[in-house]
Amino acid sequence: MCGIISVIDRSRNKMNGESIKNALSLMDERGSGEGAGYAVYGVYPEYADYYALHIFYDDLAEPKAAVEDLLEKWGKVEYDEEIPTYDQERLKKDHTPWRYFFKPDGSFFSGSTEEDSIIHIVNKINTEIDGALVFSSGKNIGIFKASGWPEDVANFYRIEDYEGYIWLAHNRYPTNTSGWWGGAHPFNLLDWSVIHNGEITSYGTNRRYIESFDYKCTMETDTEVVAYLADLLGRKHGLPEDLTVKALAPPFWDEIDKMSDDKKELYTALRMAYGPALMNGPFAIVIANAEGIIGFTDRIKLRPLVAAEAGDRLYISSEEAAIRRMENNLDRVWMPSAGEPVIGRFNK
Amino acid sequence: MTIGSTPVKYRIKIDQDLCMLCERCIENCSYGVFRREGQKIVPDFRKCTACHRCIAMCPRDAITLEEKPNDYRSHPLWTREAREAIYNQANSGRIILSGMGNAKDYPVIFDRLVLDACQVTNPSIDPLREPMELRTYIGKKPRKIEINTVKEGDYELKTKIAPNLKLETPVMIGHMSYGAISLNAQLAMAKAVNKVGTFMGTGEGGLHKDLYPYQNNMIVQIASGRFGVDINYLERGAAIEIKIGQGAKPGIGGHLPGEKVAEDVSKTRMIPLHSDAISPAPHHDIYSIEDLAQLVRSLKEATEWKKPVFVKIAAVHNVAAIAAGIAKSSADAVVIDGFRGGTGAAPRVFRDHVGIPVEAAIAAVDDKLREQGIRNEVSIIASGGLRDSADVTKAIALGADAVYIGTAALIAMGCRVCGSCYRGLCPWGIATQRPELVSRINTDEAAQNVENLINGWTLELAELMGAAGINSIESLRGNRDRLRGYLLDEGIMEVLDVKMIGA
Ligand code: SF4
Ligand code: SF4
């Protein structure tokens, strides 16, 4: 189960959260009321140079003081506030969401990049500070999620008040782990956000692989590794998006064996080097970063995925009906084949 | 004669109503148990090793064998084995030899690990209808790959990939040397691995010319004795393995008695006829990881960096640190041989008491290499007492890339695990060099048996993966989430890093 929907406006025209909320709510039967969430890119233009850290606090005393101590130590908080929320009858407020616009102090991180320092801080908070959880840490992006039904979560944050040029939304039906706020999608690390429908049977392998590169899995669910793998392959190892997808959901050996020599060599190398990053099991995933979105399914397409275009907008979703809720006048609708990436990038 | 003789172990019975006096038992028992007295076959129980050859060959099913119950005064500490070992040594003053694997009753960790399967939320995959990929590459992998973008969507590989062995199934056959086993046994296995697209080891006995046609599926071994090693040997192998240790006898070398060094063996091993072939415990040019690295690199240099080089060690308590050192020595794979590994001949005290189980060793090595961020750059091959496809699946889920089987392949050719291999009289023609016994193996038939075994295991492995919703072996490797501990103590669970059943 689970329902996913995402949209990019390639000309960076902003969209508010109203229509994606309606689209996600249409897929209510794909969830269980235990988790929904929204990611929006381009949402904090006035703080575009700062990392927007969204943090769930269990209480506003100790964990908050500990986080703020840590942030003071490692850099500077330009502005912070409680993320405004609005009580909903069916949604129990388990945590208080807070946001910080933060810049790390370069002098602490000689030899590594600013991004690495943010990963380090996120890991530190999530593993060492009880009662605090960073659930969004990119620049000019924000994630809004909770345990609840899509429309309740949207109303809780008043998602229609936010606007951006990429939206991702997810309705969760947890089968592996309990429904808790941290376990709701989208998952995020830096620029990368992930929504996922399915179960990753290779999680044990993927987790051990990614942890050997110093990422720490703290969300008790299989989806977070996708964000980390995207960061490792895409940002750190510099693979283009389509090859990243081919590493995560590679062609079968039968297909590789039939390729031209050059391609065979490339795809063999990709599988050899990134075998432990290969994701198995039924899944449909959309990954976003500051440059665009990319959607793909597992290698035998055990989960549905539909793509559609209308003008500058590209939609990727579990259901065509959900896309049509956002835009009924579509230029093109298609079902991508198994493992084939659908890529939406901004116009240059 | 203070001690006298010990009671016999096995009792052989011949049903005289069924026996037709064909004398096949006499012919088949190389230990000389049977003789004919008039209209009767008379067995001498004392000589029997329970190899079952006579039983398997009797056309009338007239022979039965039973283990004789302990007729010593029973005692929980002074068991029959303990007492008989003392009688034996009180008589001989020698080291007690034994064959095959560890015969002590240690708990088998594999049997206390259970595999997982999908239900409903995550569909299992049916390998009969869906692709299931077991192809495995053994050797060095790059940490990351670099590419040039030729044009949008079109790429060129910049990274040079080191030579790897390409396996169609993660099951290989480990090293059993010519000398320890017969040429026919080696030939049968060579034909089998060639057929199924996997590999086998030559052992330290060199490479007999009859095996040349199968050299692309052979891994040549270099042990401390350097038997049979020259550039021709190195060049023929698909990969080269340096043997530091062996699970059945960690810390000691090998000894092939002169009487087994017949003409062909002497030629293949490049040693004088009937001379004892002794490979010492240490390699006398390796006393540190740096020395090992030198040997690894010189072997690579000698073969123009075209062949992967493996290093085999016995599973011992600090195996993880040693394996990490090996990984840094430019070796392409580390072979870990657990304490249940078989052998042609080992001091009993080593076979039964030295080393650690391979399950724990795989887990510890995999963890250590990950901690150092180099796990994917070196392959792990696990061996030592793997009995079926479940053991293979569990070994891979714990972190191995592939496995070596040994005893299982011999059993596929008839071996009854009688444990008397060191006597050179193996009635199945396996652990012997006597031509009349060796010829008992029909290499084509035996090859078919070994091929069937590997194919059968491979099919089962594919089914187990499918049940877990996994369609490529990469996703099973190190996937300890797919394992649960059943009746394992907390300490072992921690070493294995697996969850308890129900969790
Ligand atoms: S040693 Fe083997 S062949 Fe001889 S009697 Fe015993 S079981 Fe039969
Ligand atoms: S190889 Fe032969 S001697 Fe060795 S255990 Fe098997 S049957 Fe016995």
Tell me phi and psi for residue B337, to 5 degrees: -110, 115
Mean pLDDT of A185-206: 92
Residue A79, both tokens:
């502005």
B118 contacts on A by Cβ (under 8 Å):
201
The CATH number that applies at residue A152 is: 3.60.20.10
Segment A320-331 mean pLDDT? 96
Q: How does A2-39 read in b/e, with b if 16+ C-beta sit within 10 Å?
A: bbbbbbbbbeeeebebeebbbbbbbbeebbbbbbbbbb
Please check if B54 is assigned to a binding site: yes
**Which residues 143-202 of A have a C-beta within 8 angstroms of B?**
175-176, 198-199, 201-202
| Lowest pLDDT segment from A214-223, B199-208, B216-225, B384-393 | A214-223
CA distance linking residue B429 with residue B136, whole number of Å? 33
Query: Roughly how many angstroms between the first and final C-alpha of chain B, as a whole number?
Result: 61
Would you call A2 a catalytic residue per the annotation? yes
Contact B214, B196 (CB under 8 A): no
* CB-facing half-sphere around the CA of B396: CA atoms within 13 A: 29
Average pLDDT over chain A, rounded to an integer: 93
Average pLDDT of the segment spanning A111-131? 90
CB-nearest partner of A208 from B122, B141, B478: B478
Question: Which residues have C-beta atoms less than 6 Å from ligand 1?
Answer: B 12, 28-29, 31, 33, 48-54, 65, 427
* pLDDT score recorded for residue A193: 94
**Residue in A closest to B367 by C-alpha:** A208
- Contact between chains at A201 and B122 (C-beta distance less than 8 A): yes
Instruction: Please report the sign of the dihedral spanned by the C-alpha atoms of residue B480, residue B486, residue B489, residue B490.
Output: positive
The yes-or-no verdict on residue A260 having pLDDT over 80 is yes
Min Cα separation A113/chain B (Å): 18
A144 CA to middle of ligand 2, Å?
68
What pLDDT is attached to residue B1? 64
Please write down the HEC assignment for all residues of B292-344.
Answer: HHHHHHHHHHHCCCCCCEEEEEECCCCHHHHHHHHHHCCCCEEEEECCCCCCC
Residue (of B413, B415, B491, B488) closest to B453 by Cα position? B413
Quick check: A252 contacting B, CB < 8 Å? yes
If one residue of B19, B27, B46, B52 were mutated to test the ligand 1 pocket, choosing by the most ligand atoms within 8 A of its CB, it would be B52
- CA angle B207-B212-B213, nearest 5°? 150
Of the candidates A73, A70, A74, A51, the one whose C-alpha atom is nearest the C-alpha of residue A62 is A70
Q: What is the pLDDT of residue A184?
A: 86
Q: What is the pLDDT of residue B284?
A: 92
Cβ contact B422:B49 at 8 Å: no
Q: Which residues of A touch B138 (CB under 8 A)?
A: none
> What's the distance, CA A123 to chain centroid?
17
Q: What is the pLDDT of residues A175-191, one digit of tens each?
A: 766 678 988 899 999 99
pLDDT of B46-95, one tens digit each? 999 999 999 999 999 999 999 987 788 889 999 999 999 999 999 999 99
More confident residue, A111 or B200: B200
Examine the pLDDT at B36 and tell me if it is beyond 80. yes
Q: Whose alpha carbon is nearest atom 7 of ligand 2?
A: B415
For residues A266-280, average pLDDT = 96
pLDDT over 70 (residue A143): yes
**Which of A242, A278, A302 lies nearest to residue B474, judging by beta carbons?**
A278
Cβ contact, residue pair B161, A268, below 8 Å? yes
Cα B239 to Cα A157, B177, B233, B245, B306: the distances in Å are: 61, 16, 11, 18, 9
Strand, coil or helix: what is B278?
Answer: strand
What token pair was written down for A301?
Answer: 């397409």
Asked whether A139 and A290 are in contact (CB, 8 A), the reply is yes
Contact A302 B123 (CB under 8 A): yes
Which pLDDT tens digit goes with each residue over B97-127?
999 999 999 999 999 999 999 988 888 999 9
Q: What is the pLDDT of residue A177?
A: 67
Q: Which ligand is nearest to the CA of B57?
A: 1
pLDDT of residue B82: 93
Instruction: Say what the pLDDT of residue B262 is.
Output: 85
Q: Is B421 annotated as contributing to ligand binding?
A: no
Confirm whether the ipTM is greater than 0.95.
no
Q: What are phi and psi of B108, to 5 degrees?
A: -90, 115
Taking contacts as CB-CB distances below 8 angstroms, the residues of chain A near B141 are: 272-273, 275
Q: What would the pLDDT profile of B380-395 be if each residue is shown by its tens digit?
A: 999 999 999 999 999 9
Question: For all residues of chain B together, what is the average pLDDT?
Answer: 95
Reported as a pLDDT band with limits 50, 70 and 90, residue A29 is confident
Neighbouring CB atoms inside 10 A of B213's CB total: 12
Of A334-343, B14-23, B250-259, least confident by mean pLDDT is: B250-259
Cβ atoms A201, B466 nearer than 8 A: no
Question: Is B157 in Cβ contact with A199 (below 8 Å)?
Answer: no
Nearest residue to B121 (alpha-carbon basis) of A105, A177, A5, A184: A177
Structural domain of A81: 3-345
Q: Does A109 have pLDDT greater than 80? A: no
Q: How many CB pairs under 8 A join A and B?
A: 126
Is the pLDDT assigned to residue A206 strictly greater than 90? yes
Which residues of chain B lie closer than 8 angstroms to A236, CB-CB? Answer: 144
Structurally, chain A folds into a number of domains equal to 1
Mean pLDDT within A303-309: 96
Reply yes or no on whether the pLDDT at B248 is more than 90.
yes
**Ligand 2 close to Cβ of residue B412 (< 6 A):** no
CA distance to B389, B485, B487, B489, per residue, from B499 (Å): 22, 6, 11, 11
Per-residue pLDDT tens digits for B145-167: 999 999 888 899 999 999 999 99
Annotated binding residue at B418?
no
Nearest to A152 by CA among A36, A16, A26, A20: A36
pLDDT score at A176: 67
pLDDT in tens, B271-302: 999 988 888 999 999 999 999 999 999 999 99
Task: Give per-residue burial for B93-112: e unless 16+ CB within 10 Å, then b.
Answer: eeeebbbbbbeeeeeebbeb
pLDDT at A113: 87
Q: How confident is the model at residue A276 (pLDDT cuts 50, 70, 90)?
A: very high
Phi/psi for B51 (5° steps) reads -80, -10
Model confidence at B256: pLDDT above 70: yes
User: Which chain A residues touch B474 with a CB distance below 8 Å?
Assistant: 202, 205, 271, 275-276, 278
**Nearest one of A114, A99, A104 to A40, comparing CA atoms:** A99
Closest among A319, A338, A332, A343 to A24, alpha carbons compared? A319
Query: Could you tell me what percent of chain B has a pLDDT over 90?
Result: 88
Residues 6 or more apart from B78 whose CB is under 8 A from it? none
Residue B21 has pLDDT above 90, yes or no: yes
Q: Is there a contact between A59 and A127 (Cβ–Cβ < 8 Å)? A: no
Ligand showing the shortest atom-to-Cα distance for residue B25 = 1
Nearest-by-Cβ selection for A266 from B123, B157, B370: B157
In chain A, pLDDT over 70 holds for what percent of residues? 99
